[in-house]
Amino acid sequence: MEKEKTKSAHVLLLPYPAQGHINPLLQFAHRLTANGLRVTLAVPIRCCNDVNKTDPSALTSINLEFISDGHDGGLPSDFDAETYEAELHHVGSQTLDDLIARLNAQGSRLVCLIYDSFHTWAFNVARPCPWHPWSRLPNTVLCGKLHILSLP
């Protein structure tokens, strides 16, 4: 298994931590693993219970890692989106960088970071890496584009 770990290409997925963003990337992760890639899904620590509620078989072929978004114990009752985004940028950048360094130190052959386009800071974290970060459109936009492309 250790030899397989270093041989296969490894993709890191970073969904936006909101309803409707994690599950589509989880489904995408399954498609990647079906094509022989190793996949790590990085979600905030506060989403641990939500992710663990998913079908256990959905996580068998995917490595699940947790990063901090600055609200590991949950979102405050006086939640403010702008404040959250600033904290997510600051804390998320550091913990994502730490995760990438740890995966590289373990011998993972990271080839790509695919992140939700709401994570505008993720590009800067991955920029020094020898591979390219890829932004993914939000699901509703992607579905709309696919629907338009399929019109006669």
What CATH number is attached to the domain comprising 66? 3.40.50.2000
pLDDT at 19 over 80: no
92 close to 67: Cβ distance less than 8 angstroms: yes
pLDDT at 149 over 60: no
- From the list 10, 69, 116, 119, the catalytic residue is 116
pLDDT tens, 50-92?
666 666 666 678 888 999 988 878 888 888 888 888 888 899 8
Mean pLDDT value across the chain:
77
98 annotated active-site: no
Domain count within the chain: 1
**What local confidence, expressed as pLDDT, does residue 7 receive?**
56
Mean pLDDT, residues 21-45 taken together: 86
Range of 46's domain? 2-149
80 annotated active-site: no
- State the pLDDT confidence band at 148, using cuts at 50, 70 and 90: very low
**What local confidence, expressed as pLDDT, does residue 152 receive?**
44
Task: List Cα–Cα distances, 26 to 9, 47, 63, 86, 148, in angstroms.
Answer: 18, 14, 11, 25, 24
In the chain, the percentage of residues whose pLDDT exceeds 90 is: 16
- State the pLDDT confidence band at 145, using cuts at 50, 70 and 90: very low
* Rg (alpha carbons) of the chain, rounded to whole number: 16
- From the list 21, 30, 71, 89, the catalytic residue is 21
pLDDT at 96 over 90: yes
- State the pLDDT confidence band at 137, using cuts at 50, 70 and 90: low
pLDDT at 102 over 90: yes
